[in-house]
Amino acid sequence: MSIEEFISSITASANNQPGHLLQYLYEIQYQYAHISQQAIKLLAEKLSLTESHIHGVIGFYSFLHDSPRGAYDVLISDSITDHMLGSRSLLDALCKKLGVVPGVPREDGRVTVDTTSCTGLCDQGPAMLVNGWAVTRLDENRIDNIAELIESATAVDQWPNEFFRVEDNIQRRDILLSDESNDGEALRSLIDQGEDAMLEQIESSGLRGRGGAGFNTGMKWRFCKQTEADQRYVVCNADEGEPGTFKDRILLNAYADKVFEGMTVCAGVIGATKGCLYLRGEYRYLRAPLEQILQQRREAGLLGNTILGQGGFDFDIEIHMGAGAYICGEESSLIESLEGKRGIPRKRPPFPVTHGYQNRPTVVNNVETFMAAALIAVHGADWFSSVGTEQSSGTKLISISGDCEKPGIYEYPFGVSIQDILKDCAAKDTQAVQIAGAAGFTIPPAEFERCIAFEDVSTGGSFMVFKQDRDLLDMVKNFAHFFVHESCGFCTPCRVGSSLMKDLVDKVHSGHAGQYDLDEMQNIGQLMRSTSHCGLGTTAPNPVLDTLEKFPQIYEKHLKHSSYEPAFDLDAALQDARDITGRDDAGAHLGTKS
């Protein structure tokens, strides 16, 4: 098939809608290992978009490239938990075997090895993606095999199946994960009760958004329902990008029917006929099974026109793929991305509930929220609110990774203490727990009696355990780099601040910083927190500010105790000169190092 034919066929499958641009680019990327200038031109003509728009979109998503990436695009997950499992030395080993430098395609066009933000496989890492497909449990052996497979040009679909095995790894079940209701039961309940009664059920259940922000779900649905519009949308946010979370992976693998059913209940309540599941690019392997489930539901009358024979109850769901942008987990960025644009957060007001996808009222909820909604529809509000705390009803899926014996998914009623969780996952000698991911909280042992709840420690589910002998500054550094990579660049405080913060953390880490630098980090962090445009910018300094307050010792041991130290290391700068002259005597060093 020529590239013209390929592009025609993929755009035709979405009626040449320019809003599906990201989807087309995603397909082209994986078909041709990059999006060529020719492809951009063809798309621009076909969709009446400008080339600069398409370039802008490609440049925004880290899985899309306008220059060739090599037949094998290997991305090693660069989350701190992967580091702790040895990903860095595996990356070095793979690069050495393949003779490549990270990020640079090999000259023969065979392979690129690079890093990527957390792939959502922290419980079975170190992990990597090859051409978008997840490979788990990397070790030296597996890396050797992979290098051989690449050298022998073995197609990825010929690689051993076990490489791609992703386990659900459910360690504790509560009301959600132990549910045994039948498919369609929530919808029947909706039809029996009527949408107003159903909305009241959702409201009185006290269900709050499971992404972490905790907005009342019933209220969100009601705002959306009340807004006059010719069309409303239901969007399921499965762009689980917070480092250390992987609960959506399990829900979409094992409970997808419930999630779709929750979306359908929402659609019935608010009067939407179209829905989207925005699936993060890292979960490419889940797409085909999910499409299959959608098809089964259509065939079973649970999706499509006249759902369960109910005239006027029409709703269908499309899957949209993300392409490597953490910011797209923010609901308005996600909507921009759904519209085929750069995922820049919108300004608010207006909010997505009144002006969302295609400027129409849109409910955006987390995967877990929709599943909970489906089960509330089946079992009722009381069943749900009887679990958890007063302000945080129901249960929460916690994704546990890091230094513990039993990482995986744990479902707890809200109100569970950190201590109890640590006991269950068999963590010992814990120095700190990072909750809610890179943008979350660093909890010291003194606070382990605190609870997981919206009124105490609120989280989308990430729970990373660090034992005593870890250098927590490694984590801070990892997160600082993560935010520089993921900042969208739209607003000044985040664009500039994240990068300054990273430089300062690196300076501390490399032993060149003084107290002055810590004060600067404090200032920059406060500024980002108070002046950034969106949640990413306001929370990006959290790991630094939190650890500066609660773990000052991790900085102190790296500090040079002077008030000011330049980032520039004079002696290190002479290394080139020493290499050229072959000298390493005392006279070839500046006296800066003792």
Partner 1 sequence: MSEEFVTITVDGQELQAPKGAMLIEVTDKANIRVPRFCYHEKLAIAANCRMCLVEVEKAPKPLPACATPVMDGMVVHTRSDYARNAQKSVMEFLLINHPLDCPICDQGGECELQDVAMGYGQDVSEYVEGKRVVFDKNIGPLITTELTRCIHCTRCVRFGREIAGLRELGMTGRGENALISTFIEQSVESEMSGNVIDICPVGALTAKPSRFAARAWELVQHASIAPHDCIGSNIYVHTLRGEVIRVVPRDNEAINEVWISDRDRFSYEGLASDDRLTAPMIREDGEWVEADWDEALKRACAEIKHALDTAASDEDSEASDSSSKLAALISPSSTLEEMYLLQKLMRSLGSGSIDHRLRQSDFSDQDSAPVIPWLGQDVENLENMDAALLIGSNVRKEQPIANHRLRKAVVNNNAQISFINTREFDCNYPLAHNITAAQQQLPHELAAVAAAVFADSDDALPSYIAGAVSIAKPNETHRAIAQQLKQGKSSTVLLGSQAAMHPAYAALRALAEAIATQTNSIFGYLSEGSNSAGAWLAGAVPHRGPCNDADAVKGQSISDLSENTPAAAILFNVEPEHDIAQSRQIIRALTGASSVIAITAFRSPVLEDVASVMLPAAAFTETSGTFVNAEGVMQSFKGANNPAGEARPGWKILRVLGNLLKLDGFDYMSSDQVRDELRGMCESIELDNSITAAPQVKLPAGAGSLMRAADVPIYATDALVRRASSLQKTHDAVVLAVSMNPADAERLGLDEETGSVSVKQGESSAILKLIIDAGVPAGSAWIPMAVKGSELLGDPFGEVVIEKV
Closer to partner 1 at the Cβ: 360 or 481?
Answer: 481
120: left (phi over 0), alpha (psi -120 to 50) or beta: left
Angle formed at CA 286 by CA 259 and CA 374, multiple of 5 degrees: 5
- Nearest Cα to Cα of residue 123 among 74, 94, 166, 76: 166
Is residue 509 at the binding interface for partner 1, with CB under 8 A as the rule? Answer: no
Calpha distance 335→401 (Å, rounded): 30
Kindly tell me the sign of the dihedral angle through the C-alpha atoms of 582, 588, 589, 590.
Answer: negative
Closer to partner 1 at the Cβ: 62 or 273?
Answer: 62
Of positions 12, 155, 567, 570, contacts partner 1 by CB under 8 A: 567
Of positions 73, 257, 403, 486, contacts partner 1 by CB under 8 A: 486
Closer to partner 1 at the Cβ: 55 or 578?
Answer: 55
Is residue 19 at the binding interface for partner 1, with CB under 8 A as the rule? Answer: no
Closer to partner 1 at the Cβ: 262 or 537?
Answer: 537
- CA 156, distance to chain mean position in Å, is 24
Number of residues that bind partner 1 (CB under 8 A): 40
| Least distance (Å) between residue 22 CB and partner 1 | 14
Is residue 497 at the binding interface for partner 1, with CB under 8 A as the rule? Answer: yes
Of positions 566, 582, 587, 591, contacts partner 1 by CB under 8 A: 566
Closer to partner 1 at the Cβ: 44 or 191?
Answer: 44
Closer to partner 1 at the Cβ: 9 or 530?
Answer: 530
Any residues with CB less than 8 A from the CB of 207 and at least 6 apart, and which?
216, 217, 218, 369, 372, 373, 376, 384, 393, 394
Is residue 515 at the binding interface for partner 1, with CB under 8 A as the rule? Answer: no
Closer to partner 1 at the Cβ: 275 or 537?
Answer: 537
Is residue 560 at the binding interface for partner 1, with CB under 8 A as the rule? Answer: no
Calpha distance 371→374 (Å, rounded): 5
Binding segment for partner 1 among 225-233, 329-337, 362-370, 523-531 (CB under 8 A)?
523-531
Q: Which residues, 340 to 369, sit near partner 1 by CB under 8 A?
A: 342, 347, 349
Counting Cβ atoms within 10 Å, is residue 153 exposed (0-12), middle (13-18) or buried (19+)? exposed
Any residues with CB less than 8 A from the CB of 51 and at least 6 apart, and which?
40, 41, 44
- Whether the CB-CB separation of 435 and 429 falls below 8 Å is answered with no
List, in sequence order, every residue forming a beta bridge with 366; answer none if it has no partner. 237
| Least distance (Å) between residue 167 CB and partner 1 | 33
Of positions 16, 62, 145, 193, contacts partner 1 by CB under 8 A: 62
Closer to partner 1 at the Cβ: 369 or 532?
Answer: 532
Q: Are strands 128-130 and 111-116 parallel, antiparallel or unpaired?
A: unpaired
| Least distance (Å) between residue 208 CB and partner 1 | 20
| Least distance (Å) between residue 404 CB and partner 1 | 33
Is residue 60 at the binding interface for partner 1, with CB under 8 A as the rule? Answer: yes
Is residue 523 at the binding interface for partner 1, with CB under 8 A as the rule? Answer: yes
Kindly tell me the sign of the dihedral angle through the C-alpha atoms of 353, 354, 355, 358.
Answer: positive
Alpha helices in 353-488 (DSSP H): 367-379, 381-385, 418-424, 472-486
Judged by the rule CB under 8 A, the positions of this chain that interact with partner 1 are: 50-53, 55-56, 58-60, 62, 325, 342, 347, 349, 484-493, 495-500, 503, 523, 527, 530-533, 566-568
